[in-house]
């Protein structure tokens, strides 16, 4: 059987890093990475491009757009795509690509490593092998492959800062496993017949994590400077009212100014439910805010950037926000 053609897109990250004067810096190109894993040529035919060489801390929404455009321009030429990426913001990029490239009929796989590929003890080589195996398979959509796990792009989060078990699937099962040269697929997400590419994002989406006693002026400042504000609240969700300031009134003014506000939880698992307590239900009943439910913050950020790049009309924003895309939200209403 003819081997499938896969495009490797290099962006930098730990996987491509070498030690410099001030610590690890991404230096290796995508083609240089492949020299460390020559056996991958037995899985598929590979071409390489290098879009940029950045520590993923420096990757922004404009870079998501560049990756998506590179894939769109070459989409008909390849059977799958692998994006090598730094781990620190890989989950955000995976979410961003999930909205910029919707209903992909081909696998778009992000991977990286906790240790550079030149190290004796590294996870780079196996992660690359697994990523190419998935990219050359019959799977589809935007996926993150790391330490054997195959995770939906809208559900991935970096949950360990150093160990090889770096990523978890939040509020959704893993799609499958790459193990011993085989793919074990547990879930086959719904497949659409047409792939849609998008080219516009509104990056003015801010995130505020509440802490006890936080000044509501922080929310006011962020609302003034951004199109949308996501608030990570406590527990199942709610906004505090202090003698020194009223979050309810601050958010109300922001909404009246045409801003979008999403309330979610800083608790990693099980999502929000504003209807449980008065501090959440009073907001839900009286203000046109959006609730994230089981959608993870990385996906909320990327989804809002995609939505606000298309429309700012409140009803349409809400409709798009609550429309499931790439397994991003299940528990609505």
Instruction: Locate the domains of the chain by residue range.
Output: 5-197, 205-321
| Residues whose CB falls within 8 Å of the CB of residue 188, separated by 6 or more in sequence, listed in order | none
d(CA 26, CA 52): 10
For residue range 199-227, list pLDDT tens digits in order.
Answer: 999 999 999 999 999 999 999 999 999 99
Other CB atoms within a 10 A radius of the CB of residue 72 amount to 15
| Residues whose CB falls within 8 Å of the CB of residue 323, separated by 6 or more in sequence, listed in order | none
CATH for 205-321 is: 3.40.50.40
Cross-strand bridge partners of residue 102 = 196
pLDDT of 262 reads: 98
Report the catalytic residues. 14
From the centroid of its chain, how far is CA 52? 19
pLDDT of 186 reads: 96
Q: Which of 9-18, 89-98, 210-219, 244-253 is modeled with the greatest confidence?
A: 89-98
24 pLDDT tier (thresholds 50, 70, 90) = confident
Mean pLDDT of 168-190: 94
Q: Two tokens at 61? A: 């929404």
Residue 323 is given by DSSP the state S
For the cut 80, the answer to whether the pLDDT of residue 332 exceeds it is: no
For the cut 90, the answer to whether the pLDDT of residue 22 exceeds it is: no
pLDDT of 190 reads: 82
For residue range 294-321, list pLDDT tens digits in order.
Answer: 999 999 999 999 999 999 999 999 999 9
pLDDT of 114 reads: 95
For the cut 90, the answer to whether the pLDDT of residue 164 exceeds it is: yes
Other CB atoms within a 10 A radius of the CB of residue 252 amount to 17
- The fold adopted by the segment(s) 5-197 is Rossmann fold (3.40.50)
Could you give the residue ranges of the DSSP H alpha helices within 205-286?
Answer: 217-225, 247-256, 278-286
């Amino acid at each position: 059987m003819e081997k499938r053609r896969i495009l490797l897109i290099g962006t930098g990250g730990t996987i491509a890093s070498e030690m410099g004067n001030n610590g690890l810096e991404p230096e290796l190109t995508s083609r240089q990475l492949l020299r460390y894993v020559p056996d991958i040529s037995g899985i598929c035919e590979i071409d390489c491009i290098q879009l940029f060489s950045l520590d993923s801390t420096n990757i922004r929404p404009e870079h998501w757009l560049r990756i998506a455009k590179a894939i769109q321009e070459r989409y008909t030429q390849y059977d799958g795509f692998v994006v090598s990426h730094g781990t620190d913001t890989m989950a955000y990029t995976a979410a961003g690509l999930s909205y910029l490239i919707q209903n992909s009929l081909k696998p778009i796989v992000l991977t990286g490593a906790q240790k550079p590929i030149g190290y004796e003890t590294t996870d780079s080589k196996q992660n690359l092998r697994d990523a190419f195996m998935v990219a050359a398979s019959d799977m589809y959509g935007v996926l993150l492959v790391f330490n054997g796990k195959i995770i939906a792009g809208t559900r991935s989060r970096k949950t360990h800062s150093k160990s090889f078990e770096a990523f978890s699937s939040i509020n959704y099962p893993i799609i499958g496993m790459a193990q011993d040269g085989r793919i074990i697929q547990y879930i086959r997400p719904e497949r659409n017949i047409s792939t849609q590419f998008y080219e516009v994002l509104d990056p003015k989406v801010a995130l505020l994590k509440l802490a006890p006693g936080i000044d509501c002026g922080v929310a006011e400042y962020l609302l003034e400077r951004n199109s949308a504000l996501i608030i990570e609240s406590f527990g199942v969700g709610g906004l505090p009212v202090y003698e020194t300031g009223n979050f309810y009134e601050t958010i109300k003014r922001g909404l009246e100014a045409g801003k979008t506000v999403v309330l979610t939880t800083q608790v990693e698992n099980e999502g929000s439910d504003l209807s449980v307590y008065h501090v959440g239900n009073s907001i839900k009943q009286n203000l046109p805010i959006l609730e994230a439910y089981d959608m993870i913050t990385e996906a909320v950020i990327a989804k809002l950037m995609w939505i606000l790049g298309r429309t700012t009309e409140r009803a349409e924003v809400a409709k798009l926000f609550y429309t499931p895309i790439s397994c991003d939200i299940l528990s609505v209403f």
